[in-house]
């Protein structure tokens, strides 16, 4: 994503760029980009007042800046650290290459920031778990914090229990969903490949699915669409984690659903591979 100030010389150069570089004009409303909208700001240096404000916000939020520096702008370089400084007449292919590299840099920096924040969250969760004695509150904390760390729109939690007949099953204990209201009622399901959670409890391994409605024909488990149909939801990506004792026994399953970069937007993303190691 390439941010620009409308009406500037930098904005006029965007006409030459390939379509894969998405353009986004900045304004008083969109200037505070924050950490969830990685990209690069293309500005003139020195520029007008709007460009100066955009530059200040980008530097505050860690957004890389590519500056087009004219002959009179050399003195401004020392005061405005940027990702790259280019001549305004730089060839379009070179400008596009530098902007792409800056976007990659932005994503790397965002991933590093998110990982640091997630590790801090995990440390806080560990402290909370060690202090919590109420089992229901403990399970609620695990699901809530798990969703926060992974930016999940929804999630559910199951615990392993033994039936009077001596068979092990999963008890559906909690459900959370930011998009639809869920009338929750506890129930049980078998530990088997007939459900995603049942399969994870059976196999004891983390499962990551990009789209549960596009499972391969030879998938060892199946996705039950009944919940989606009942509440009018569309499950897409899933991260399903077995909850284990220090000795390796599976005592529950944490199911995280529909990863989102921005919680208020409809776009659903696959869960990043790095979440396997959290």
For residues 83 and 187, membership in a common domain is answered with: no
Strand order in the sheet with 65-69: 23-25, 2-4, 40-45, 65-69, 84-86
What is the structure's pLDDT at 128? 59
As a whole number of Å, the end-to-end CA separation of the chain is: 28
Query: What's the predicted TM-score (pTM) here?
Result: 0.61
Q: Are 153 and 254 in contact (CB under 8 A)?
A: no
Q: What is the pLDDT along the chain (278 residues), one digit of tens a residue?
A: 888 888 888 888 888 888 888 888 886 435 444 444 568 888 888 888 888 888 888 877 778 888 888 766 555 555 667 888 888 888 888 888 888 888 887 777 766 666 666 656 655 665 555 565 678 888 898 899 889 888 899 999 999 999 888 899 999 999 999 999 888 889 999 999 999 999 999 999 999 999 999 999 999 999 989 889 988 999 999 999 998 888 888 999 999 999 997 877 889 999 988 777 66
Domain end call among 76, 109, 142? 109
Q: What is the largest CA-CA distance in the chain?
A: 84
Same domain, 178 and 270: yes
CATH of the domain at 196: 3.30.450.40
123 in a domain, yes or no? Answer: no
Shared domain for 93 and 155, answered yes or no, is no
pLDDT confidence of residue 71: 67
If 0-12 CB within 10 Å is exposed, 13-18 middle and 19+ buried, where does residue 147 land?
buried
Which of 47, 76, 109 is at the close of a domain? 109
pLDDT at res. 28: 45
In a domain, 118, yes or no: no
Do 155 and 211 fall into the same domain?
yes
Provide the domain limits for residue 27. 2-109
Same domain, 105 and 156: no
Residue 203: CB atoms within 10 A of its CB come to 15
Same domain for 55 and 163, yes or no, is no
Within-domain flag for 95: yes
My answer on whether 145 and 71 are in the same domain is no
Instruction: Kindly state whether residues 244 and 140 are assigned to the same domain.
Output: yes
pLDDT at residue 149, as a whole number: 84
Number of domains within the chain: 2
């Amino acid at each position: 994503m390439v941010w620009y100030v409308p009406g500037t010389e930098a904005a006029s150069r965007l006409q030459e760029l390939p379509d894969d570089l998405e353009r986004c004009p900045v304004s008083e409303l969109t200037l505070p980009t924050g950490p969830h909208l990685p990209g690069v700001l293309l500005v003139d240096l020195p520029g007008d007042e709007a460009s100066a404000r955009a530059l200040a916000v980008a530097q505050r939020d860690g957004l890389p800046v590519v500056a087009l520096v004219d002959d009179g702008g050399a003195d401004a370089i020392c005061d405005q650290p940027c990702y790259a400084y280019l001549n305004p007449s730089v060839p379009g292919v070179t400008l596009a290459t530098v902007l792409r590299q800056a976007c990659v840099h932005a994503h790397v920096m965002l991933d590093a920031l998110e990982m640091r924040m997630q590790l801090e969250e995990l440390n806080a969760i560990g402290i909370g778990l060690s202090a919590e004695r109420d089992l229901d509150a403990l399970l609620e904390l695990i699901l809530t914090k798990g969703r926060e760390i992974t930016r999940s729109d929804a999630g559910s939690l199951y615990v392993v229990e033994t039936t009077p007949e001596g068979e092990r099953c999963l008890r559906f204990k909690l459900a959370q969903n930011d998009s639809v209201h869920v009338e929750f009622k506890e129930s049980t399901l078998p530990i088997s490949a007939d459900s995603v959670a049942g399969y994870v409890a059976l196999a004891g391994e983390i499962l990551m699915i990009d789209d549960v409605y596009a499972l391969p024909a030879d998938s060892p488990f199946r996705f039950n669409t009944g919940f989606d149909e009942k509440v009018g939801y569309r499950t897409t990506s899933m991260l399903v984690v077995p909850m284990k004792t220090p000795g390796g026994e599976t005592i529950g399953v944490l199911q995280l659903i529909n990863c989102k970069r921005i919680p208020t937007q409809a776009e659903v993303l696959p869960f990043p591979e790095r979440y396997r190691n959290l």
